[in-house]
Structure 1
């Protein structure tokens, strides 16, 4: 019957119970094939290995117990809800089970039969109850009420219970070969691939789960390293740019400030990269204000002095213009710096080595062959660009040295997954005398009373950013929009100060005009989407208010917070969730507690996944929920093995890399 077994590439409609509607729902999680489903790892497990006696149950706990369930009673509430209740009892006591609008439960329960019951305890009136518990007959295969029960990342109209059932079906009906030979599995002390997939979803204990986690993370690390090393070996050589130390000292002498230790290290790291005859790739990460642009200025100066060109790709026209002005202020002439945007197309090539700074327009307008070779490519916020877009600049002969800039702190193992073979330099220091931004979670009910405080800030000269997730009002998504919020703030505060509006659907010149007016205003309010996240540099801004804050990831909120706190005044960040629900508030409280972008980035990745943070379609799926994804030693082990495999047989190594990615 092996021919009837499901294969990794099979679509999900071949699994019983997944029809067109559920296929669409699963697609929202990027789950399209059997492999996708089996690699949709749990975010956590409910520990139902020990059943609790009913007498020991307490409020707000996830519990499981064995009990006899009595005759179910049906009645309708005053609001028209169908309520079904039954009494569960064991030797120690009784508890009420309650279901809303689930008539089938009454048909499922056989009064007097023993069941495994699992759910969360809460009070119904004055008595303890379980609302919408899961029940399974004792002795049947238990996926939901016994052992380590997986809880999955979800989307609307999807439950962990549904996913557990479908994953279990997929595991029992699939035929999945191991992408690694038995010899490699044994030599690296790994469990089999099939065993790892089974135990990551339904482990008998934590030891099984950890071994499964290690094997699946190793698969990913090995695939990444094999792919990187094969690609790296096939690239053309890169130009060698020798450092002119006299020029470097002259550059230092012209700066109106002293470089931080982090900037000095980043500059020297870059010089070392440029001196090599093969492509080098470095990620320079530093939060807003850490001085990444100054570091690139040094690279640019030595590159054009050596007779080569450099280009800097920015995601927005505002950011491109900001980089352009920064390079002029730092000392390059207008003949040495060329700005390329949709409004300022590249009409002719300069007659000397130059720095090209621009947006997406650079991708189509910069020729493959330049009179002064493109030796260095710098991409600011790489995750804003697609892979094919970036390759228009980077796939050249000779290969340009590549630098990525990001204000979103990225853990090293994630950086390797996102960017390939890459060195990482982190700028940790910020300019002196900056006060930490005071961050407050303000629930909607408390926000209603904050008008006086906001008016006080306006009268004291504060510049205030107001951010919402949506441009237009939506009936489908419960979140604030800039259009509605702009009108509200104009009505409340328009007599006190100017209120501006910007969003991504506006023409660039209108955005520039609104930002310019905001800069000139004494005080002022600017209502915006996340367009201000990169490239808006207004040091005087000292208050940011984020509406529907639960719609944003922690890393994104940290980025937005970085828009203020750049001047001498005390700055404030107000995060306003869409409701007073405790769960939303708890996640946002992490921003009150932590001001480290790296810590928040790691938390965000574990909570939301790399697809949410960096865009699944651009970067592929990364198993950030695996504990061993973050294991540097395991990554190094995979890298050593990958290098050995490529050296021994590059073709076979490529085949194995493909298996690891597709099986």
Structure 2
């Protein structure tokens, strides 16, 4: 086995300082159609392209013989230098497949090579032609095989003159992006770097690079996409090479700087209302509550009340475990705002939760003589028109609603406080849209379950964090039991026993996508089967997201009033529902849920003083990760511990439901893997913000994160500029 050294690609020589960086349309193979396709994946500039992270790397620098490859396990790949002996093109009668078949030789023997549906290759595979292949044998269990669909380079070079880009080196493998294959992306990146992209002024201050021992940006980008053959493969796989660390650090630092700029921008606004002083007001607010605050609630209220009486508008994230009493703190803030003479709005993700909050707050605030409005989606009614007219005026009032609150025809004349419940259900743009209906209103957002600090720092870093760590006294313990589906009878017996004793139960079926009829049919079929079988004689109800709103509302009201003993539901009940008599929860196909979602569902029981049980039913074949996830739930009821474990197991993107844009838009960083780098970036951001934030760094942060964070994109110029360029 011999080693072929890698020629530097592209050249490491620094580009002229005044050389203008190319735009996407300057790169061969990219026209308006492909530019639009790239834009849909978030790649708007050449710099976006340069920070596209390889999925993995393949060492194609070490050559082996055909005989050596044949001794390797099937599918294990190697790099080969071979000569064509013969080639032919075959067409199958069935399915219209084409098969390009070639016989190749080297000093150790010969092998067959096959490519499927690539008929154009045969014209290049002329006898005597030498080529480099990267692939593996297809045979298994001792059966003879061939080399299937290897990557190929003709020697001495292919028609593009880029043999060194794809072979004879450590090669990056990219996820298929906007229709571009990994090979095409390598070529694009080679052309972009060769044309001078990446040579813009480095946005990171020189002293920061020295202190953190980080390479310059241009060198880091070259090493990311075209690493040298002496790179440590373990460091490369773990994203711990100097180049990878530098680019990960830069991405996280720019995010933290952008969040700092957003906080600064908000604090420059003047509050549009004056809060009542603490003397007397806080005691009156607490008098409306039918219980005493826990120490955790007292601490949270003191901080939030201080924000409301501060000089600049509040922007705070309130988080705590399920049933810790976040809603009581929100109710006090809403009441304080209205009693201080301003309007307050509470936005929640579902009609069920909106109606529940409305009923409870209306009852809670009735002694204060306060009317609580309710605004839902759907066709306008006389009541909704009257409420919208009231909101457009200046009179203080409180309104609770769903996404209907951010519709264009909803105007506030005097909005002073915005509270958003179940924050993860709303995008940043929706949050901003409601806040923009007032003049610098105070903002309080609440999470359904705790968020790990590293995730809160990056996802909600523009908000100040306050936590409630304890639970109200007298709440029941909740036992969790994991059962295979074959032992479901145990759960059904527990449901029947609870109902017979005058208690209630939830049975939840997963509905990953409301549009998937198969999921919905499973829930409906289970409802019918249980009613006729294991739970016959009990009063059952069914709710799911595709029921008409009136029917869903009637069923929920009947359950909350105790007329329905067992509620069969999809995950429409996961958020906020509060029924003290519910003591049993059965979750079918529990392996299909994440930890946080299961913990939210489990939070629907144990809200009274009676011991409660959660049964997690799983399929007979349970993967290791699913088994780990369910075991954690069985072990603990601590939402903070569960949040950390969920983040570790599933990653930030899936935890927040934002997988479609790659974990909050991070291209290179992973906040679980890179927590240490995140902390370094946080320390440096705090140090820089305490002095004067370097303008180039601030501009780079606006370009990278301005659009999703509402700072202004900083991309008014054409695509392709590096982070250091200033825009007019």
Normalised TM-score (structure 2): 0.69
- Matched-pair contact (CA < 8 Å) for 1:118–1:144: no
Q: CA deviation at 1:310?
A: 3.4
In the alignment of these two chains, the number of paired residues is: 630
Which stretch shifts more, 291-300 or 323-332? Answer: 323-332
Which stretch shifts more, 180-189 or 463-472? Answer: 180-189
Rounded to whole Å, the distance in 1 between the matches of 2:449 and 2:105 is 53
Q: CA deviation at 1:424?
A: 1.2
Q: 1:117 to 1:568 in 2, by over 3 A?
A: farther
- Which residue of 1 is the match for residue 201 of structure 2? 178
1:248-647 paired onto structure 2 within 5 Å: 248=282, 259-304=293-338, 306-328=340-362, 330=364, 333=367, 335-342=369-376, 344-345=383-384, 346=387, 348=390, 354-363=397-406, 368-370=412-414, 374-385=415-426, 387=428, 389-391=430-432, 393-395=434-436, 399-407=440-448, 409-412=450-453, 414-419=455-460, 421-430=462-471, 433-435=476-478, 437-438=480-481, 459-460=496-497, 462-473=505-516, 480-482=518-520, 484-490=521-527, 492-496=529-533, 502-517=543-558, 520=562, 524=566, 526-528=568-570, 530-538=571-579, 539-540=582-583, 542-546=585-589, 549=592, 559=600, 568-574=611-617, 585=623, 588-589=626-627, 591-595=629-633, 596-601=642-647, 603-606=649-652, 608=654, 612=658, 624-625=669-670, 628=674, 631-642=678-689, 644-645=691-692
Per-residue CA distance 1:307-341 (angstroms, 9 max, x = gap): 55533222222222222233355565373251231
Rounded to whole Å, the distance in 2 between the matches of 1:518 and 1:194 is 63
Normalised TM-score (structure 1): 0.75
Per-residue CA distance 1:412-434 (angstroms, 9 max, x = gap): 45445544532112334456543
Determine which of 128, 141, 146 is the counterpart of 2:164.
141
- Matched-pair contact (CA < 8 Å) for 1:238–1:277: no
Per-residue CA distance 1:471-502 (angstroms, 9 max, x = gap): 3457xxxxx341x3245335533423577554
Rounded to whole Å, the distance in 2 between the matches of 1:59 and 1:183 is 49
Unaligned runs of 5+ in 1: 475-479
Q: CA deviation at 1:299?
A: 2.6
Rounded to whole Å, the distance in 1 between the matches of 2:507 and 2:29 is 51
Decide which structure has the larger Cα Rg and report it: 2
Secondary structure, aligned partner of 1:635: helix
Determine which of 264, 269, 288 is the counterpart of 1:235.
269
Determine which of 238, 250, 253 is the counterpart of 1:215.
250
Per-residue CA distance 1:486-523 (angstroms, 9 max, x = gap): 45335533423577554545443222123335554665
Secondary structure, aligned partner of 1:294: helix
Q: CA deviation at 1:141?
A: 1.7
Q: CA deviation at 1:631?
A: 0.9
- Which residue of 1 is the match for residue 50 of structure 2? 38
Secondary structure, aligned partner of 1:236: coil
Secondary structure, aligned partner of 1:493: helix
Q: CA deviation at 1:132?
A: 4.7
Unaligned runs of 5+ in 2: 1-14, 157-162, 232-240, 500-504, 634-641, 706-714, 716-720, 722-728
Secondary structure, aligned partner of 2:553: helix
- Matched-pair contact (CA < 8 Å) for 1:282–1:425: yes
Rounded to whole Å, the distance in 2 between the matches of 1:98 and 1:513 is 64
Rounded to whole Å, the distance in 1 between the matches of 2:324 and 2:40 is 36
- Matched-pair contact (CA < 8 Å) for 1:303–1:309: yes
Rounded to whole Å, the distance in 1 between the matches of 2:364 and 2:108 is 77
What RMSD in Å do the two structures reach over aligned CA positions?
A: 5.0
